[in-house]
A and B are shown apart, each in its own frame.
Chain A
Amino acid sequence: MDNILEIDLLRKEYKNFTLNDVSFQLPYGYIMGLIGPNGAGKTTIIKLIMNLIRKNDGSIRVFGKDNLEDEIDVKSRIGFVYDTPPFYEHLTLAQNKSIVSQFYREWDEELFKNYTNDFELDLRSKFKILSRGMKMKFQLAMALSHNADLIILDEPTSGLDPVFRRELLNIFSGLMQNEKKSILFSTHITSDLERIADFVTFIKNGEVVFSDEKDSILESWGVIKGGNELLEEDHGRLFRGIRKHEYGFEALTSDAREVARRFKSNVTIEKPTLEDIMFFMTSNNGGSDV
């Protein structure tokens, strides 16, 4: 599979935080969810891809090109959706659109009208009077109307109702009918990704915990429940994010098969949700390497 996005040993240093040698790839035609707790570095990664901030080291290749050397080319094929839509508050949607659309060679006015009709957006209204949901929809319509091949979204659904979130997933499904387009979608609402993501990359404390096919992750990881006596021996990295209570413990494992083999019916193993994984991995002894 050819990759639409290749991040290699990406590094960004701040005073209190470092994005440390982050690497992952997204092939053409698939959706990747970027998950992780707040402050983990998801937004930093997206800003680095869009060159809103400058990297200290590493490489970012989009469509096979370096994102800095071919910045204009690359950006013309990316549709971006940020958690705070960056438009002129005092101008109308139509005015905002005409400012932006002139910079995209492949702007498709028909497509834009279709989206704004579907989303029920009145182009004559001023941007500032829109609700958060409408602002996001407008930003989405803009991002989807210039035949972008890569859509990048940073927390697009936080603060939005479940109905809109479903709509968004439907739109994604529609886009994925084209096997040359991909979507990178960062969120901490993992239920959105549960069904539709092909790949999941989990970032914690500026590092990649894992980046893999979502199906594989959900199959090889598991939520373990067992009696506390099992905790007396050291099982190394097998149990993560252990939560002990009076009558037993819960933990996450990245190797459900091994746990089943070792402990047989002394534990119950359940298929994890992405939320489980995030939850256990962000507690104290979640650890960050796999």
Chain B
Amino acid sequence: MFRLSLKDIKINKIAFLINLAFWTILGPAWLSLNTDLYLMLPVFFGLFVVMIPMSTELRDDIDILYNSLPIKKRTIIISRYISSLVMIILIYAWIILIGFLMDKYLTLIQIGLAEKISAGTILLIILPVVLIVSIYIPIVLRFGFTVFITSGVIIFMGVFSGFIAGISYMISASSPVTGYEGPGGLAGIIGMIKNNDLIHYLGKAIEAYGTWVPVIIILFAIVLIVFVSINISISIYRKKEL
């Protein structure tokens, strides 16, 4: 299973490395613009750079190869999840690393990444990513890549808006705690991003629920989503005719 994931990563390493290079070069520029954007956008961007080569692999003929080898279908599916998630986590970790390094050594740009980031906020940003991967893989398996591309935008917007709604709720619900007094909803969030405040308020909002409780809940949600998605994917894949 892990060998397969490794193989996935090795094969797509070009896409992966392009992504890393992109963020290494443009990182400083983005960072200087806005920390919040810096933290949120790359993961979505990286998602697509990673997804596209992966879905070309889900094409029939390569599938015929793997299904002819002595490998369980379950293993094939799980390895795809592992490689997708690992790649995204690596991209993300890389971005944060760059951010910290710039904070430390590029005195021109100081965004105070360290204060903004906590376990909770990181997980909260990974959550929609996991959601998208978990929705994406079963859909491509069942309907093929072209359907995904056309519906991909809808899925993306759906997840994104759900995400926004969730954040909105969290922040408004504890406004005494976070101290946020601006408008709510999408406008408010955009405002927060503009002011480089989103992650900050998110962090406060999460703390309002205690330091570890939200982290555990989010982790649990991630695990649950991936687990359900894997099982759906496996049963779709089992029915697939090559």
Direct touching of A and B (C-beta under 8 Å): yes
Among A52, A102, A104, which residue has its beta carbon within 8 angstroms of that of B241? Answer: A52
Among B7, B72, B241, which residue has its beta carbon within 8 angstroms of that of A71? Answer: B72
On whether A103 and B71 interact (CB within 8 A), knowing A52-B241, A87-B65, the answer reads yes
Inter-subunit contact A73/B70 (CB<8 Å) = yes
On whether A72 and B72 interact (CB within 8 A), knowing A84-B61, A86-B62, the answer reads yes
CA distance A87 to B7 in the complex (A): 14
Residue of A whose beta carbon sits closest to that of B72 = A72
- Number of B residues contacting the other chain (C-beta, 8 Å)? 16
Inter-subunit contact A88/B62 (CB<8 Å) = yes
Q: Mark B207-242, 1 if CB is under 8 A from A, else 0.
A: 000000000000000000000000000000001011
Q: How far, in Å, is A87 (CB) from chain B's closest CB? A: 7
CA distance A51 to B71 in the complex (A): 12
CA distance A54 to B61 in the complex (A): 17
Residues of B within 8 A of A91 (CB): 11
Inter-subunit contact B68/A50 (CB<8 Å) = yes
Inter-subunit contact B61/A53 (CB<8 Å) = no
CA distance A84 to B67 in the complex (A): 15
Among B69, B241, B242, which residue has its beta carbon within 8 angstroms of that of A103? Answer: B69
Q: Please tell me if B64 contacts chain A, counting CB pairs below 8 Å.
A: yes
Which of A74-82, A220-228, A241-249, A267-275 lies at the binding interface?
A: A74-82
Q: Please tell me if A94 contacts chain B, counting CB pairs below 8 Å.
A: no
Q: How far, in Å, is B17 (CB) from chain A's closest CB? A: 16
On whether A52 and B11 interact (CB within 8 A), knowing A47-B242, A84-B61, A102-B3, the answer reads no
Among B62, B71, B241, which residue has its beta carbon within 8 angstroms of that of A72? Answer: B71
On whether A104 and B61 interact (CB within 8 A), knowing A47-B242, A53-B241, A54-B241, the answer reads no
Main SS of the interface on chain B?
A: helix
Inter-subunit contact B69/A88 (CB<8 Å) = no
Inter-subunit contact B11/A88 (CB<8 Å) = yes
Residues of A within 8 A of B11 (CB): 88, 91
Chain A positions 48-93 with a Cβ under 8 Å from a chain B Cβ? 50-54, 71-76, 80, 82, 84, 86-88, 91
The residue in A52, A72, A87 that gathers the most chain B C-beta atoms within 10 A of its C-beta is A52
Residues of B within 8 A of A160 (CB): none
Residue of B whose beta carbon sits closest to that of A80 = B68
Inter-subunit contact A52/B68 (CB<8 Å) = yes
Chain B positions 30-78 with a Cβ under 8 Å from a chain A Cβ? 61-62, 64-65, 67-72
Residues of A within 8 A of B242 (CB): 47, 52-53
Residues of A within 8 A of B64 (CB): 52, 82, 86
Q: Mark A94-121, 1 if CB is under 8 A from B, else 0.
A: 0000011011100000000000000000
Inter-subunit contact B70/A103 (CB<8 Å) = yes
Q: How far, in Å, is B15 (CB) from chain A's closest CB? A: 12
Q: How far, in Å, is A199 (CB) from chain B's closest CB? A: 24
The residue in B64, B239, B242 that gathers the most chain A C-beta atoms within 10 A of its C-beta is B64
CA distance A104 to B62 in the complex (A): 17
Q: How far, in Å, is A263 (CB) from chain B's closest CB? A: 49
Inter-subunit contact A99/B7 (CB<8 Å) = yes
Inter-subunit contact A75/B7 (CB<8 Å) = no
Residues of B within 8 A of A72 (CB): 70-72
CA distance A161 to B71 in the complex (A): 34
Residue of A whose beta carbon sits closest to that of B61 = A86
Inter-subunit contact A86/B71 (CB<8 Å) = no
CA distance A80 to B62 in the complex (A): 14
Q: How far, in Å, is B5 (CB) from chain A's closest CB? A: 12
Residues of B within 8 A of A73 (CB): 70
Inter-subunit contact B68/A104 (CB<8 Å) = no
Among B3, B61, B67, which residue has its beta carbon within 8 angstroms of that of A51? Answer: B67
The residue in B61, B70, B241 that gathers the most chain A C-beta atoms within 10 A of its C-beta is B70
Which residues of A are in contact with B by a Cβ distance under 8 Å? 47, 50-54, 71-76, 80, 82, 84, 86-88, 91, 99-100, 102-104
What are 9 pairs between A and B in contact, CB < 8 Å?
Answer: A47-B242, A50-B68, A52-B67, A52-B241, A53-B241, A54-B239, A86-B68, A100-B69, A103-B69
Nearest first, the 7 A-B pairs at minimum CB distance are A76-B70, A52-B242, A86-B65, A75-B70, A86-B64, A86-B61, A53-B241
